[in-house]
Structure 1
Amino acid sequence: MHNNNNDLTLSAPLAGPVLPLRSVPDPVFATGAMGDGIAIDPLNDTLHAPCAGQVLQVARTGHAVTLRADNGAEVLLHLGLDTVGLKGEGFHVLVQEGQRVSAGQPLLRFDLDYVAQHCRSLISLLILTNGDAFDLRPLSLSPVKVGEPLLHLTRRVLDPARPPVTEALGEQASARVKVAHRGGLHARPAALVRQCAAGFASQSHLTFKDKSAPCTSLVALMGLGIGEQDEVQVSCQGADCQAALQALLKTLGTALDTHAHPAPVTAPVIQRPAEDGVLHGVCAAPGLIAGPLLRLDALQLPPDHGQHQPEEQRQALGAALEQVRNDIRQTLEQARQRRDQEEQDIFNAHLALLEDPTLLDAAHATIAQGRAATHAWSAAITEQCQVLQQLDSPLLAERANDLRDLQQRVLRALLGETWHYDLPPGALVAAEELTPSDLLQLSAQGVAGLCMAAGGATSHVAILARGKGLPCLVALGQEILHVDSGRQVVLDADGGRLELAPSPQRLQQVMHAHEARQQRRAVQQQQAREPALTQDGLSIEVAANVACSDEAREAHLGGADGIGLLRTEFLFVDRQHAPDEAEQRQAYQAVLDAMGDKPVIIRTIDVGGDKQLDYLPLPAEANPVLGLRGIRLAQARPELLDQQLRALLQVTPTERCRVMLPMVTEVAELLQIRQRLDALASELGVSQRPELGVMIEVPAAALMAEHLAEHADFLSIGTNDLSQYTLAMDRDHAGLASRVDALHPALLRLIAQTCTGAARHGRWVGVCGALASDPLATPVLIGLGVSELSVSPPQVGEIKDRVRQLDARQCRQLSQALLDLPGAAAVRQACAQHWPLQP
């Protein structure tokens, strides 16, 4: 065999069909956890040496031999799967440890019929166990005869920028778990799995059906095609395998927190009557806008004749990748400053993809053949996009768009092209499929709307478009790409329509509606600092939901009457240890200071369920939303709550600080915390106590509202959780999210019962869930007895304006009848008739 101490060709040790390693029905081998290699389904009864070398090890049960080649490559030859269980029966070893063997020399014989009948599979492995030092290239995937060339090894020049891979030695651990992420294991949850696995020395992999993937490769993980609630096997090997396993089980079994911007559900395909001059699509982000339609074309590569210096091209690709990484890091920092978690998740996944070994190895292998870095990178992405699109999963097919985004960004860096589109403000963009970085650039240039031939309503672009307020239609079909550029069109995303030939009157109507909406928002903002009084003089407090002092400052400037919900989780997440008492006190005081003389409601720590803390390991739960979360976790870990209560007792002035307890289900929980608050106040020598309220977010709390109000100072309804618990529908379930509507009569009955029970003890009731931000719901909530609405800060002016249009007495009279309607749709229709919204 050819061997120059760098290159080595391994010959076939057996005769038979050749299989890629990923096709082996054993997760340890298929994922490369033992190393890279190849498999043969043997037709002969003798295993031969694939090269000259020394016998390092012979398995005690005779089913495997390990050789060390003269260039240092260590090759494991493993006969069959689960053959260790045969305890040597059927095997006859022909060599011994330490022996020098020549290429093609017989190493062991086996009884083909006996082994085939008594083990799981005869498929046999050739594994390079120290593969970090070598590049491996298969020479044949056709059936081979003994001694024919099989694999070519080249000693690798290790990149110091790439961290070494820790060999998976020692203890093993595995378990099964159902994947909780909405839509399955697509880019963002796969990035979380990769990030989790990277924190441990052990090697980890997932197995689903007959395929496996290492947790180090996003592409390989997505390529498994794992759907929501699919059960997978997690396997870890190494010194810290137990800790790694528990962490991965928690990561896979806990859904991403996408509550702030739930993705819309793509409606079933409806056969619409054909309309001349109208293209129908799916609404990815709502809105109505008119403007010139301009086509955006993808970057085209120049021809490549394949005669490049590999080292130069590797360096060029490395530089381009680093440039794109830096750009994404800047985007991430901006998203962190805005506390835009959706955007952070998207671009964290992109960063992980840029380091994905599946992509990088494929690109480097192509470069080694003399191809240009541009074509090597493009080919690597295209191949993986095809893998994802061939899976029976529309969501994973959409995730191929993330790969195409990185393809274009890195190509632009390689070619030195400016990252800018020549589009005027107000343009409506048409494209085959836009990428997240496309959207950010287009939004910065003032583009007014987006139209895509492909894409889906659950894509990352759709999420970003909704966050930017850009109307967006997807799945319009290829016809959109043939529309004349510059044509004036109407994008009616709400109706799923692109009007290609609107009349002058229609264009004028849409433009006037848009201008009126802009003017109304400006007026609302000017009046946002004024009190929200109904026409008959009832005062409604319109507060804001925030997560930090910066957001509180913006809310105060935007006219908020207070903070209706401070989510204190922001202090506890994304760190290695809990904040101490001083840090918490400083953070809470900063929020109070930012709000001037306005009151601030601070919710105690609400983690567990879908919000996990790295430094607070919790057992994996089959249904985390019904598990250890909110006040239950605080009771299980009282030191966390005690520290938080101490910090809250020391902010000033005490009368502006209100404390709210999440996930309360019974009076005993409230009394226990009130007693604890009193005890800590005595310890600190604090005479005043902050008001103590309860969050109504489970049906039990609503049904017990009268009894809770006897001991609480106020009640605040969290309609997001109350909806899913009442309707028994996960608000993050892709097929059910549109039905989790807090205007359902059952929810309205619980809200009414809460307000009635609170009134008997003279307590006020607020709403801090998403329903408070829905202008259609404002009159209903006022009519049922709610006196405080806590909304997203940008909506303070809008909700105050809505309150001023209402008569509270009429709201009370009409709201009671809504409780007897058959469903949420009927309630919404009645609200629109009684209290129509301005167009």
Structure 2
Amino acid sequence: MRGVGVCAGVAVGPVARLGLPAAVPADLPAPDDVTAEATRVREALSAAGDALDARAAAAREHGRDEAAQILDAQAMMARDFVLADRAAALVTEGNAGVHAVSTALAGFRAQLEAAGGYLAERAADLDGVRDRVVSTLLGVPLPGLPDPGHPYVLVAEDLTPADTATLDTGAVLGIVTAAGGATSHTAIIAKSLGIPAIVGCRASESLTDGTAVLVDGADGTLLIDPQDDVVATRREAFAARRALAAAHSGPGRTKDGHPVKLLVNLGAGEDPATAAAGDVEGVGLLRTELLYLDRATAPTFDEQTKAYREIFAAFGGRKVVVRTLDAGADKPLPFLTDPDEPNPALGVRGWRTSWRHPDLLDDQLRAIAAAVTAVEADGGAADVWVMAPMIATAGEAARFAADAKAHGLRTVGTMVEVPAAALAADALVSACDFVSIGTNDLSQYTFAADRLQSELAGLLDPWQPALLRLIQMVGAAGAAQDTPVGVCGEAAGDPLLAPVLVGLGVTSLSMASGSVADVRAALAIRTLDECRALAATALAAADAAAGRAAVAAAG
């Protein structure tokens, strides 16, 4: 069985499936006292929020900050007054409390799924709220993690944040889910805990408790009843990979000394000190939209300045690439985006939101510049680069660059996420100090496929020759004009693909912190010419699978 590997490692053990949510009876009668029933629903939602807050606090005590942030968001969902009002209204219409909550949450879930992208991934968070509230209203045990009395491989349709935040890493050997994508909360938590994990593995729905499996989180392979020699081979390969990674440190470079900056992706609001403590050369993607999400109004200038200042200071003069607000489509904001936009993925998102609300971009650029000035006034250094998302033409790139530099920002560039930008790479690069390729969005726009739909994973494979050709165009334009070209999508963290990207002209790679060591090692054992040869091999392949196999065989 195959899925999307999201945390490298090899786990072997018996399957134990996640406990299923309580079934909602179809024939519950209408409540005798709708006021009392509505109150009971509101209290159950509030209790769910309190319980999720408690789990978030426990996660923080164990150093699981990412899990805590997800649980915080889920608790906010449970306490959403619009949700409570909708459920209460359904009760007054004659629905039992359980049905009212289920219906209200189903409506919210449909809205998130329709938005696609980031918000579609958050739809599973609502399922956790529903299951908890329904169990409370029915007076039955909460669904959750199994406890078979021995270590196991956890298999589920999907995992809620509450499930992943309370995993016992001594008992859970590996994770396999039928749903989810590379950016789902399951993937995020698995990486933070270091548990081998595969998501988007639909075939796993047929697995039963007790079945022996091997989970290879590096390549997304799930083996049933693996033979001892196969287990040994897989473990030896992973051990060799770990040893190779441990043997290299410091700045990224090829075997013959060609520099390739190795950077991390960071969300504004995450702990910058933890990220800065790693063996990395800076931040290749600072996602500033996390400052704006879950708010009724935009963050103030002072709030933004404080957040950016902490990040710039933590990285002590190392490169920090700030992406300006990437709102719209899968990240709608109530104070910015149009909820009735017919096709938001192709609409006013990213930099385009500044056409309607130039004041928001102006405030953000002022705050970034003020944070740079404050850090330098304190005697520190801040090598801050700024880039805009969703730029489609060289003219747009030039307008953004002029705007950012008018605010005193020194190094200004753009994301390459739209095929038109890659196809016009020569003109685009000439308008910028640098460019950064977002392979996730570039893939979905190139193949007209939502990047978070598991069944479209084959189309969205970063090894697709068509995608690699677009990257090659940008890399060649950057090399011709001596302009840095980065990659900050999921592709950057693949140690097999990283040398191919360098061979295509990429000069920096930004990824999850847990991927840096493997990528550093993969580059350190190959010369630049060998990277170029691997790139030619991948480009010549008939499809993604053939390209991956050919590069792996070439060593």
TM-score if structure 1 supplies the norm length?
0.51
* Match of residue 592 from structure 1: 312
* Match of residue 252 from structure 2: 532
CA distance in 1, matches of 2:298, 2:343: 25
Aligned match of 2:526 in 781, 792, 806?
Answer: 806
Q: Is the 8 A contact 1:291 1:427 kept in 2?
A: yes
**Between 586-595 and 348-357, the greater mean CA deviation after superposition:** 348-357
Cα distance per residue 1:526-572 (max 9 Å; x no partner): 854x1222111112110111112644322221211011111221222
Q: Is the 8 A contact 2:393 2:420 kept in 1?
A: yes
Describe the SS at the equivalent of 1:539. coil
User: How many residue pairs align between the two structures?
Assistant: 501
Cα distance per residue 1:384-434 (max 9 Å; x no partner): 99xxxxxxxxx9xx999758843785389x589999965556334579998
CA distance in 2, matches of 1:620, 1:284: 33
Aligned match of 2:12 in 287, 290, 296?
Answer: 290
* Match of residue 110 from structure 2: none
Alignment of 1:316-395 (within 5 A): 323-331=47-55, 337-338=65-66, 357=87, 361=91
Matched, 1:744 2:464: yes
Describe the SS at the equivalent of 2:458. helix
Aligned match of 1:448 in 167, 173, 180?
Answer: 173
Deviation of the 1:693 alpha carbon: 1.4
Aligned match of 1:564 in 256, 281, 284?
Answer: 284
Q: Taking structure 1 as reference, are residues 786 and 551 closer, same or farther at Cα in structure 2, changes over 3 Å only?
A: farther
Deviation of the 1:678 alpha carbon: 4.5
Q: Taking structure 1 as reference, are residues 635 and 350 closer, same or farther at Cα in structure 2, changes over 3 Å only?
A: closer
* Match of residue 370 from structure 1: none
* Match of residue 417 from structure 2: 697
Q: Is the 8 A contact 2:323 2:388 kept in 1?
A: yes
Cα distance per residue 1:806-830 (max 9 Å; x no partner): 2211122342353343332322222
What is the letter of the counterpart of residue 567 of structure 1? Answer: R
CA distance in 1, matches of 2:260, 2:466: 24
Q: Which runs of 5+ in 1 are unaligned?
A: 1-280, 302-309, 367-375, 386-394, 682-688
CA distance in 2, matches of 1:576, 1:588: 21
The structure having more radius of gyration, on CA atoms, is 1
* Match of residue 553 from structure 1: 273
- Percent identity among equivalent residues? 33
What is the letter of the counterpart of residue 587 of structure 1? Answer: A
Q: Taking structure 1 as reference, are residues 714 and 593 closer, same or farther at Cα in structure 2, changes over 3 Å only?
A: same
Cα distance per residue 1:26-45 (max 9 Å; x no partner): xxxxxxxxxxxxxxxxxxxx
Cα distance per residue 1:503-523 (max 9 Å; x no partner): 6x35xx536744873685487
* Match of residue 231 from structure 2: 510
CA distance in 2, matches of 1:558, 1:329: 29
CA distance in 1, matches of 2:157, 2:367: 54
Instruction: Name which structure has the greater RCO, CA cutoff 8 Å, separation 6+.
Output: 2
Q: Is the 8 A contact 1:766 1:790 kept in 2?
A: yes
Q: Which runs of 5+ in 2 are unaligned?
A: 24-31, 106-119
* Match of residue 630 from structure 1: 350
CA distance in 1, matches of 2:102, 2:406: 64
* Match of residue 777 from structure 1: 497
Alignment of 1:213-252 (within 5 A): none
Matched, 1:480 2:208: yes
* Match of residue 457 from structure 1: 179
Q: Taking structure 1 as reference, are residues 706 and 536 closer, same or farther at Cα in structure 2, changes over 3 Å only?
A: same
* Match of residue 719 from structure 1: 439
* Match of residue 387 from structure 2: 660
Q: Is the 8 A contact 2:13 2:213 kept in 1?
A: yes
Q: Taking structure 1 as reference, are residues 347 and 761 closer, same or farther at Cα in structure 2, changes over 3 Å only?
A: same
Q: Taking structure 1 as reference, are residues 522 and 547 closer, same or farther at Cα in structure 2, changes over 3 Å only?
A: farther
Alignment of 1:569-580 (within 5 A): 569-580=289-300
Deviation of the 1:346 alpha carbon: 6.0
What is the letter of the counterpart of residue 171 of structure 2? Answer: G
Deviation of the 1:323 alpha carbon: 4.4
Deviation of the 1:772 alpha carbon: 0.9
Alignment of 1:753-832 (within 5 A): 753-832=473-552
Cα distance per residue 1:289-325 (max 9 Å; x no partner): 2235568878999xxxxxxxx99x9899987775444
Deviation of the 1:739 alpha carbon: 0.8
Cα distance per residue 1:263-285 (max 9 Å; x no partner): xxxxxxxxxxxxxxxxxx78587
* Match of residue 686 from structure 1: none
Deviation of the 1:587 alpha carbon: 1.9
CA distance in 2, matches of 1:590, 1:740: 35
Q: Is the 8 A contact 1:547 1:567 kept in 2?
A: yes
Deviation of the 1:641 alpha carbon: 2.0
What is the letter of the counterpart of residue 410 of structure 1? Answer: T
Deviation of the 1:464 alpha carbon: 2.6
Aligned match of 2:261 in 532, 541, 544?
Answer: 541
Structure with the larger strand share: 1
CA distance in 2, matches of 1:546, 1:728: 27
Q: Taking structure 1 as reference, are residues 316 and 764 closer, same or farther at Cα in structure 2, changes over 3 Å only?
A: closer
Describe the SS at the equivalent of 1:532. coil
**Between 515-524 and 575-584, the greater mean CA deviation after superposition:** 515-524
Matched, 1:673 2:400: yes
CA distance in 2, matches of 1:448, 1:434: 15
Cα distance per residue 1:424-476 (max 9 Å; x no partner): 5633457999876555544466322468xxx843599x963774245467766
Q: Taking structure 1 as reference, are residues 445 and 360 closer, same or farther at Cα in structure 2, changes over 3 Å only?
A: farther
Describe the SS at the equivalent of 2:208. helix
Deviation of the 1:611 alpha carbon: 2.1
Deviation of the 1:789 alpha carbon: 0.5
Alignment of 1:46-85 (within 5 A): none
Q: Taking structure 1 as reference, are residues 782 and 519 closer, same or farther at Cα in structure 2, changes over 3 Å only?
A: closer
What is the letter of the counterpart of residue 208 of structure 2? Answer: I
Q: Is the 8 A contact 2:414 2:436 kept in 1?
A: yes
CA distance in 1, matches of 2:269, 2:129: 37
Q: Taking structure 1 as reference, are residues 354 and 808 closer, same or farther at Cα in structure 2, changes over 3 Å only?
A: same
CA distance in 2, matches of 1:433, 1:557: 32
Deviation of the 1:349 alpha carbon: 5.8
Q: Taking structure 1 as reference, are residues 522 and 551 closer, same or farther at Cα in structure 2, changes over 3 Å only?
A: farther
Matched, 1:609 2:329: yes
* Match of residue 145 from structure 1: none
Describe the SS at the equivalent of 2:491. helix
Q: Taking structure 1 as reference, are residues 795 and 438 closer, same or farther at Cα in structure 2, changes over 3 Å only?
A: closer
TM-score if structure 2 supplies the norm length?
0.74
Matched, 1:498 2:220: no
CA distance in 1, matches of 2:509, 2:158: 39
Describe the SS at the equivalent of 2:496. helix
Deviation of the 1:599 alpha carbon: 1.2
Structure with the larger helix share: 2
Q: Taking structure 1 as reference, are residues 679 and 328 closer, same or farther at Cα in structure 2, changes over 3 Å only?
A: closer
Q: Taking structure 1 as reference, are residues 645 and 433 closer, same or farther at Cα in structure 2, changes over 3 Å only?
A: closer
CA distance in 2, matches of 1:450, 1:347: 24
Cα distance per residue 1:729-750 (max 9 Å; x no partner): 3324454343122322222222
CA distance in 2, matches of 1:580, 1:400: 29
* Match of residue 117 from structure 2: none
What is the letter of the counterpart of residue 493 of structure 2? Answer: S
Q: Is the 8 A contact 2:328 2:337 kept in 1?
A: no
Q: Taking structure 1 as reference, are residues 830 and 605 closer, same or farther at Cα in structure 2, changes over 3 Å only?
A: same
CA distance in 1, matches of 2:526, 2:268: 32
CA distance in 2, matches of 1:435, 1:588: 31
What is the letter of the counterpart of residue 569 of structure 1? Answer: E
Q: Taking structure 1 as reference, are residues 319 and 419 closer, same or farther at Cα in structure 2, changes over 3 Å only?
A: farther
